[in-house]
Amino acid sequence: MRTTDIVTTAIGNSFRSRLRTTLTVLAIFIGAFTLTTTNALGTGVNEYIDTQITSIGAPDVMNVSKPTQASDAGDGPAPYDPDAGSEIDTNAGPPGTTVLALSDADIDEIRAVEGITDAQPLVSVRPDFVEWQDNGRFQLSISPFSSGVTLDLAAGSGFDRASTGFEIVLPTTYVDTLGFASETAAVGESVRIGVTDAVGEQHLIDATVVGIQNPTLVGTGASTNTALTTALFDAQRTGLPEQASTDYASATARFDAGASDEEIQAIKDRLVDAGFAGTTVADQIGTFQSVVDGIILVLNAFAVIALIAAGFGIINTLLMSVQERTREIGLMKAMGMSGARIFALFSTEAVFIGFLGSAIGAGVAIAVGSVVSSVLADGFLSGLAGLQILTFAPASIASVFALVMGIAFLASTLPASRAARQSPIDSLRYE
């Protein structure tokens, strides 16, 4: 019997007892459906997190700060060091979280660290308003993560790093408010930004809209290029005494985009030796992905349990099939069919049942999941632009097929081995 004959015969034998096969396929369907859906959930959420990571920081950018040295409880306050700099509230983490202020000299020291190609202070810009033509003035917040980001854009393009012009990327929520006809129509237009200096005088700065940005997990603030950020910062500091120091909470440091994880860790270690602490965006948000992966792993475990239960159904189905076809097995052996071929025949039958159950389960999961994902994206999750809660990746679906068919094959080994070992004489005498 050729391989094609074995496959054809195995498929035909699977439908000899249609009710029994259908019930086994349904059990496999439940596990495959659950596994496909949970994998799609993990893929969709992780892809969205990856998008958010690039929206709040580039992969070749590191946030650098000068952490305070914690003292043991009961030790009292640390001694005053006039060269250490003042403490600045980071506006991140638990209330009261502070770091030592960075000076211009500290920025130069960061730039000198091996592996760092450039470093710029992360300044706090607080504009008064933004307006377009005569459509009214509206409050404007500037994202603190503007330097080096790869923006998730709904229209337009990102910043030209070499440009000295004033460029701004507005959130989608500003389009209708400012009076633009559409997101595309806003690109290329000039908006006016107002900022008040130290003595209460208001400065007006014009900037070109180069893109419209989808909202991110960290807020809906606008993003500005380095030239515009510097201009706004200089304007709001106008009127301060010349001897007034410029303190920064942190700095953004660039390194080689092709740096490996080991090289990035080496840069962090050198920053620590210099008295600084460096963190990438992946460090800050990677925890979310670990939590999501953990949840998906637990859900997948339940799906695998269902598949294992279905595997016992396959064992039962094939054992009954072997018993019912004992005389047939004896006849095949009497005609010269080897035990290996008989084993292949029954194991192929099990693999086909596994394939059938996984195909139906994955197909239904994709159909239902696509509809559910679309409905949620337009409804409950409409505020999270770009999130497809269920994303069906081909590699993930292929892994479900491989797992289910692997479990089916393992489940077939006992009944297939029993069939292969049967004596042709005893099988022919079986009643």
Considering only CA atoms, which of 53, 113, 67 is closest in space to residue 266?
113
| Beta pairing, strands 87-89 & 277-280 | unpaired
pLDDT of residue 98: 53
Please identify every stretch of the chain with a pLDDT value under 70, giving residue numbers as ranges.
1, 49-59, 68-99, 144-150, 161-162, 215-220, 242-246, 284-289, 324-325, 380-386, 424-431
pLDDT of residue 243: 56
Whole-structure pTM over 0.75, yes or no?
no
Task: Compute how many other C-beta atoms are within 10 angstroms of the C-beta atom of residue 264.
Answer: 20
pLDDT of residue 129: 92
Report d(CA 118, CA 96) in Å as an integer. 30
pLDDT of residue 360: 92
Are 388 and 44 within 8 A, CB to CB?
yes
Considering only CA atoms, which of 52, 67, 7 is closest in space to residue 285?
52
Model confidence over 379-406: pLDDT tens digits? Answer: 766 666 667 778 888 888 898 889 888 8
pLDDT of residue 207: 93
